[in-house]
Chains A and B, each alone.
Chain A
Amino acid sequence: MAQPEFEEVVEDFAFLDDWEDRYRLVIEMGRDMEPLDEALKVPATKVDGCASQVWLHPRIEAGRFHFRGDSDAMIVRGLIAVLRKLYDGLPLGEVAKVDARAELGRLGLNDHLSAQRSNGLRAMIERIRTQAVEAA
């Protein structure tokens, strides 16, 4: 089960029926997201397998999974913002239970999830799941 905030995102997307508007919203979410400190953009936080540069920085607090992220590509930043709505604040044990493909499908963004896509969304989700499992 994803975070309640994610349901709000789903509602926002529900009104948008063409891809331009969905992209516009994703990009806007990326713009509104606080950037990651430059000091945290290090090899340890860098996610491989992305065509652009992507960093994810996890933080475990009181058994819950939190993370911040950033990218030099605006669409990817937006996708990170979406992932934060999906995962940030979940109990550690819940993270791996989220069906990311299905949830993102509800936003009409699942075309980003095919293996050939080089934006690294799959790699980011994999990193998040691994970090949560390792911390549990």
Chain B
Amino acid sequence: MYDVHEIRKDFPILSRQVNGKPLVYLDNGASAQKPQVVIDAVTRAYAEEYSNVHRGLHYLSNLATEKYEGVRGTIARFLGVADEEQIILNSGTTEGINMVAYGWAMPRMEAGDEIVLSVMEHHANIVPWHFLRERQGVQLKWVDVDSRGALDPQAVIDAIGPKTKLVAITHLSNVLGTVVDVKSIIDGAHAKGVPVLVDGSQAAVHMPLDLDALNPDFYAITGHKLYGPSGSGAIFVHRDRLAEMQPFMGGGDMIREVHKDQVIYNDAPMKFEAGTPGIVQTIGLGVALDYMMGLGMENIAAHEAVLRDYTRKRLDGLNWLSVQGTTDDKAAIFSFTMNGAAHAHDISTILDKKGVAVRAGQHCVGPLMDHMGVAATCRASFGLYNTEDEVDVLIDALELAHDLFG
């Protein structure tokens, strides 16, 4: 039994007020709040378990290393990956995708090669590929979404040509909530011999994953959206790609021997983890993932599906509101604009006064905004602790905004 009211008690920040109103936190797509177990784990790590990892032979270093390295296995379990050496720990999706761009893509792409992307990619899955366009003449091929925000997997597969070296695609749109059929895309791309990078920043938060079955080449996640600390994250890199990838950053931990005329790298995954990592953040992420798995990813998904259906029904009743992203099986992420003169920032200002936190702006998806022909939207993105009552508060606040601006 998924008791959301009990679950809310695990998140201390949810009981605070903002602007004199109970907080209604609907900005989970930007970053999620943290349960007490994560906050405690972070405090305990600093108070009792802290030292650098992989270095000292002393008690605390061993303890910190054990805690930190244990998270690799937790992430592997969370992602449905049997071989945890395919998990590279990092600071989040942005670092993960940049690592692939620099370490894997740059050395093997030349002018005229292509990367296939959808128009609804987050900037973290766009800008690193622009580096290759600017510096090496790589072409970016964009695949559109339809008016509901759906992405036809066949259109992505059809965009793959003889010069395509990579498909980089989101699993779940941070703005439209669209769930992408990445399985079909991966199978289709692999049939043409092309690897696929999946941006799993949003998907990992909202659905159970089985990457061994999905079989992507790269799958990036970010800890702060997974109810864990900011500055934590990971990327799954398939064994075959690990063997091809060069280190992105050099420094401690990723080397075995360093001489004046030679350097011998550590084995993967540590080969790709230079410098002192986010030790405590990573330990916190492990606890957050255990927390999510304790609730059950299927249960979280089921709860959020109820929220999605209820939110959709309530928003549909507001005929002065346009919702962007209307696929049936979307996640509980709703972007909307108010018909008329009100700007997304106007709306979010009024919602904030009512205690409702949403994001307003471009959501780091410039090409999608261009595609939809809007300058900015408001986005309400739900998480495992949100309730139908909170949807009602959102709707009331929107009605006030409409009254003020309409």
Contact = CB atoms under 8 A, between A and B. Distances in A.
| A and B: interacting chains | yes
Interface of A: 19-20, 23-24, 27, 51-53, 71-76, 118-119
B375 interface: yes
Given A73-B346, A74-B343, A74-B346, A51 B400 contact: no
Nearest to A31: B341
Contacts of A23: 350, 353, 404
B361 A51 contact: yes
Contact of A74 (B360, B376, B405): B405
A109 B345 CA distance: 17
Interface in B359-385: 360-361, 375-376
Contacts of A24: 404
A12 B339 CA distance: 30
Contact of A20 (B341, B375, B376, B400): B400
Contacts of B342: 73-74
B349 A19 contact: no
B375 A72 contact: yes
Contacts of A76: 343, 345-346
A119 B361 CA distance: 12
B345 A52 contact: yes
Given A52-B345, A72-B343, A74-B341, A19 B353 contact: yes
A119 B349 contact: yes
Contact of A75 (B346, B375, B376, B400): B346
A72 B404 CA distance: 16
Contacts of B346: 73-76
A72 B405 CA distance: 13
A20 B400 CA distance: 9
B189 to A, nearest CB: 38
7 contacts: A20-B400, A27-B404, A52-B343, A52-B376, A75-B345, A76-B343, A118-B345
A75 B353 contact: no
Contacts of A74: 341-343, 346, 405
Contacts of B349: 75, 119
A72 B342 CA distance: 8
A126 to B, nearest CB: 19
Interface size bucket, B side? 10 to 19
B343 A73 contact: yes
A120 to B, nearest CB: 10
Contacts of A118: 345
Nearest to A19: B353
A92 B335 CA distance: 45
B360 A51 contact: yes
B353 A27 contact: no
Nearest to B349: A75
A53 B361 CA distance: 11
B353 A51 contact: no
Contacts of B343: 52, 71-74, 76
Given A73-B346, A119-B345, 7 more contacts: A20-B400, A23-B353, A51-B360, A53-B375, A71-B343, A74-B341, A74-B405
B99 to A, nearest CB: 31
Nearest to B375: A72
A100 to B, nearest CB: 19
Nearest to A51: B345
Contacts of A52: 343, 345, 376
A18 B96 CA distance: 48
A75 B373 CA distance: 22
B344 to A, nearest CB: 8
A20 B360 contact: no
A24 B405 CA distance: 8
Contacts of A72: 343, 375
Listed from nearest, the 10 A-B pairs whose CB atoms lie closest are A73-B343, A73-B345, A52-B345, A74-B346, A73-B346, A75-B346, A51-B345, A52-B343, A72-B343, A74-B405
B341 to A, nearest CB: 6
Nearest to B348: A51
Contacts of B400: 20
Contacts of A19: 353
B375 to A, nearest CB: 7
A73 B346 CA distance: 6
